[in-house]
Structure 1
């Protein structure tokens, strides 16, 4: 089974490689036709077979030398040399992602590759890479973190929170669209600390940029490097540090939270959608309310169990779990938060009022 999957991976890589280079394939086809016509036209000349074999042999030897000796040396030299780009090249990164062999790693605030005309080709490149068992790791800024508000102040008119939430929703939809066997290769997390850099990595190619004021990072200068270079080592270490940080959450933990509710010692557990507004947490409470239709939620004991990507748990006990009514002053704002995070609002919302620590 593994051999078959590996073989299919190579075929997928080959056809995907050609699909991303249709112009080159078309030019190669035209040249092949012209070559065939010239060979037919020269077929009547003296010593045709001997001359053809001699020329093809010389060309074949030259091609082998270029492909297997010169090209690898040039490629290794290019990878070992750092360079500076004026701005992030979206199309080039999509091509590199589509050609990935081992890993794709991104450290960003949010990805404009998931917006506009880049969205479909980027998703197609990622899907093709995942079919070849390429590991995909994406770290985006937690929109609930103070760092998101700080970066929003730096960028002025750009709505940082909305862009991140839209990205996370699209990444969730993308992962749900994948076959079950491919979902294990994709891991998406949100981090809370403002990082010093952005990073886009495909195998041993890294694109690094810093966060300028009043400008998104992909419009600033980009530094092309590799994991063995000093800059590359620093950035990869920062990625690993944020990936395993205490306040880093998985995408699932960002979208759902565990709530334990009940009367007395008997507690039932629910996984519910939620939003935060400052110090307040609001829960999508349809299942909880329906389960307690006979008794009501008054006097219901509740615990909010928040986890991080390392599997650690933080438990908050509620002083009260109250139903958010349509006439409450925060009702409209909370419904707006649900709609921005999940794409729709919630009919039944519970306000979690934490107790004293």
Structure 2
């Protein structure tokens, strides 16, 4: 009997010891160990191991970018940077060309929704003509982000990422004024032409607003020429029209302008593509005295400034905008707050500093 009691006591002791050990090790679920995790559960290319949660994985997003057109170096460069940055981040990205057609751009947005896009990026053809596409995206819960050229109804998009186009238009026009004053100090009249982009595009509106601020006049869709400017009473806009962002269209207009207004001393363009298109016309007419100004800062433009073909431009930071676009899309997908408007300042490029940007 005593032997049986001793056996029972030993068994009880073992049971108590087991319970004590269990209380020390705990019963909570095991946490993942980054040192032993299955390497197939995370993508090392989408997280920073120094800062990211070791168990987190960057969600692969399907993102569609509908871009206003692919007719010049600037928009082609932006499209290429969008695709390259998306690939670097491991997303499923696609670029569609609206070809300056608002109805087509709406259709592209609606198609992106039906195809299950996680986000839509829009470089708008026109600020006020995309309502149906924006509403379709909002109804489906697909976030829209505008870049470079926005939309008038800000409630239908999450964020706008762009260059400060008003400041860009202002800074390069102020440079034009300084150049004209230096080149023609004794002139009583200094005639200039104003080459606009696509009428109604946010980019056209903003760049032109900056030009107006610098020259000191109020833009009108039905101007009476010559347009007086208050920055310098001698400087007058004798002609203004739209080259629709395209070099050939701008070249055709410039040829007519130079015949009709032979006294023109500068042509101020809403983008580089139009300015570059005008240069051969000036060369053919032996009018190298006419100063050309653009807006974008494409590689070809920088070389043109270096070669003396153009007098200046406002350089837009395409890479910075695209990175900010993806950062915003990813943050929104993660449930984080995203700043509604994000502007990146452009740089003024002239013959004096162009080498800094050609490196």
TM over 0.5: no
For Structure 1 versus Structure 2, the TM-score category normalised by the shorter chain is: under 0.3
TM-score where L is the length of structure 2: 0.22
TM-score (norm 1): 0.22
* Greater percentage in strand: 1
Specify the structure having the higher radius of gyration (Cα). Answer: 2
